[in-house]
């Protein structure tokens, strides 16, 4: 599109120049044309000669303005506004191009996936303005550390990438170590004299040694980044021979499974499973959590086996759409009018069409927003706090409700209560499972969360209730609701009419809302 507009601007200049030349030629011809009324032609010729530069000059000025505007538009479309590096969309285009070029010309190139260590803590402690300044510094150091012709990009948040053309494993090691050394020695001074100093972890993958296409190369580099961080951060990780064969094969199988499920979902490959949430005192089923499953020829695949791959592929939004649609269809068929809980991936919220599609599904199935509680996992929220905060406030104003899942699992649990207007806290299952056996620390943590939430008007839900003993502990700690295998395993059926005290769905819904 930008190239077409530039061609149009060039044609405009050419046409204007031709018009100016024609006017000048006409003026000269009339000026020397021998006729009786020569003074009239002389006057006309003079006017033509004086005006001849106007079309060309005006066109050149206009074309320059158009070109400047197009350059700005192109930069906005391809560059990250904070750091000036290429953005994620452009990165993928360039990675695909480099993969194809490398295959044609038969040379190796390297992909680096870079993450700033401890950036979330830095951002939470000093604020987003300081965090943005630090990311700009990282981007500047990255541009300095890579070779001329290498292609650094900001992938998302504190994640960066670098495509290193004509670069084998040995050269990649040198460049990656130079990046790490630059960050180790960099200090950013704050206004109060504090020096901030962080490190980076880097995952490395080389084409075609470690992968045969762009997507697998990225996923392997991402896996190596996770390995580098698990090794203590400020580390560099290369694939081993085992990673090279087994990991790519494993990722490839997951990709095929996910894509097949999305393409063939008319055959209900993506299926909702429902797990009841009960009142711990009345034992009445008051709501259901909707869980994602993929059905592969009768073999049910749980979400833990494919969600991460789906997020990396950018397919998580479509999975969520399909899951909600299938869950609403089951609820309508069973005439269920109670409350459903659904765990949303923050990566789905980045998709521009996500919220409009969500609203459309609710309208099509005539479901009130208050009948859905969206769960936001605390571990994911740390990485996307500003995005999540905006999403929660917008949809909560429309009547949707929210829960923080795995509450208590991270360092910033209580900070989220200030940032997000939530309705429910789902206490992290690790605390709940540890309640039996008289462990005072776990019991005190759970009791404190329950008491604080009650005072704030927030309901609490215990996960991983797997025995009668755990349910009794949860009840005595003051938790309102519970779910887990002891109550019922996830099932493709909504059994609301046969569990609990026999309340109608409307009565159950009213009790839960109360």
For the chain, give every domain's residue range: 2-78, 88-238, 253-513
pLDDT the model gives residue 430 = 87
Is the Cα torsion angle 7, 8, 13, 15 positive or negative in sign?
positive
370-404 per-position pLDDT tens digit: 999 999 875 554 455 666 777 788 888 999 999 98
Mean pLDDT of 186-207: 88
pTM higher than 0.75, yes or no?
no
pLDDT the model gives residue 393 = 84
Question: 60: helix, coil or strand?
Answer: helix
Residue 313 has pLDDT above 90, yes or no: no
Mean pLDDT of 324-349: 86
Q: Give the integer Cα–Cα distance in Å for 393 and 401.
A: 10
| Six token digits for residue 107 | 């040379």
The distance in angstroms from the start CA to the end CA of the chain is 55
Residue 502 has pLDDT above 50, yes or no: no
For residues 200 and 46, the model is more confident at 200
The CATH number of the structural domain formed by 253-513 is: 3.20.20.450
pLDDT the model gives residue 312 = 62
Q: Give the integer Cα–Cα distance in Å for 291 and 341.
A: 9
Q: To 10 degrees, the CA torsion angle through 323, 324, 329, 330?
A: 70
For residues 509 and 133, the model is more confident at 133
DSSP state of 231: T
Q: Do domains 88-238 and 253-513 have the same CATH topology?
A: no
How much of the chain, in percent, has pLDDT values that exceed 90?
A: 35
List CB contacts of 200: < 8 A, sequence separation 6 or more: 114, 115, 116, 117, 138, 179, 180, 183, 234
Mean pLDDT of 458-479: 93
Residue 30 has pLDDT above 90, yes or no: no
Task: Share the mean pLDDT of the chain.
Answer: 79
List CB contacts of 235: < 8 A, sequence separation 6 or more: 201, 202, 228, 229
Q: Give the integer Cα–Cα distance in Å for 222 and 466.
A: 35
Domain 88-238 top-level CATH class? alpha beta
Question: 195: helix, coil or strand?
Answer: strand
| Residue 315 CA: distances (Å) to CA of 257, 262, 297, 345, 374 | 12, 9, 21, 11, 19
Residue 215 pLDDT level (bands cut at 50, 70, 90): confident
87-98 per-position pLDDT tens digit: 988 999 999 999
137-162 per-position pLDDT tens digit: 999 999 999 999 999 999 888 899 99
């Amino acid at each position: 599109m930008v190239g077409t507009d530039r061609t149009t601007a060039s044609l405009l200049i050419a046409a204007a120049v031709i018009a100016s030349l024609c006017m000048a030629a006409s003026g000269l011809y009339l000026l020397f044309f021998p006729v009786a009324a020569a003074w009239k032609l002389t006057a006309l010729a003079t006017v033509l000669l004086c005006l001849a530069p106007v079309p060309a000059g005006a066109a050149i000025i206009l074309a320059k303005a158009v070109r400047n505007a197009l350059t700005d538009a192109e930069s906005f479309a391809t560059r990250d506004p904070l750091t000036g590096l290429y953005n994620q969309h452009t990165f993928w285009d360039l990675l695909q191009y480099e993969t194809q070029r490398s295959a044609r010309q038969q040379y190796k190139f390297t992909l680096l996936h870079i993450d700033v260590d401890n950036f979330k803590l830095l951002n939470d402690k000093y604020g987003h303005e300081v965090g943005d300044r630090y990311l700009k510094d990282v981007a500047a150091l990255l541009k300095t550390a890579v070779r001329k012709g290498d292609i650094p990009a900001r992938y998302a948040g504190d994640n960066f990438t670098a495509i290193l053309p004509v670069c084998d494993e040995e050269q990649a090691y040198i460049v990656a170590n130079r990046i790490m050394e630059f960050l180790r020695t960099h200090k950013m001074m704050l206004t109060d004299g504090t020096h901030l100093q962080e490190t980076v972890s880097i995952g490395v993958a080389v084409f075609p040694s470690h992968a045969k296409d762009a997507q697998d190369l990225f996923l392997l580099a991402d896996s190596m980044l996770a390995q580098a961080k698990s090794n203590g951060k400020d580390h560099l990780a290369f694939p081993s021979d085992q990673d090279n064969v087994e990991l790519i094969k494993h990722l490839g199988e997951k990709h095929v499974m996910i894509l097949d499920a999305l393409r063939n979902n008319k055959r209900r490959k993506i299926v909702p499973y429902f797990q009841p949430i009960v009142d711990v005192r009345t034992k009445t089923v008051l709501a259901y959590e909707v869980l994602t499953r993929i059905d592969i020829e009768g073999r049910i695949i749980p979400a833990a086996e494919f969600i991460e791959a789906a997020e990396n592929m950018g397919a998580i939004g479509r999975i969520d759409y399909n899951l909600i649609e299938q869950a609403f269809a089951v609820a309508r068929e069973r005439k269920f009018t109670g409350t459903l809980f659904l765990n949303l991936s923050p990566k789905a919220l980045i998709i521009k069409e996500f919220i409009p599609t969500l609203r459309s599904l609710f309208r099509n199935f005539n479901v009130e927003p208050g009948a859905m509680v969206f769960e936001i996992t605390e571990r994911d929220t740390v990485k996307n706090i500003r995005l999540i905060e905006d999403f929660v406030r917008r949809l909560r104003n429309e009547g949707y409700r929210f829960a923080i899942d795995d509450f208590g699992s991270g360092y910033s649990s209580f900070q989220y209560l200030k940032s997000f207007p939530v309705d429910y806290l789902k206490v992290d299952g690790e605390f709940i499972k540890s309640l039996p056996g008289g462990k005072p620390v776990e019991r005190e943590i759970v009791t404190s969360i329950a008491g604080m939430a009650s005072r704030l008007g927030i309901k609490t839900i215990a996960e991983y209730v797997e025995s009668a003993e755990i349910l009794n502990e949860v009840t005595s700690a003051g938790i309102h609701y519970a779910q887990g295998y002891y109550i019922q395993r996830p099932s493709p059926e909504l059994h609301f009419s046969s569990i609990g005290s026999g309340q109608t769905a409307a009565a159950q819904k009213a009790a839960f809302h109360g």
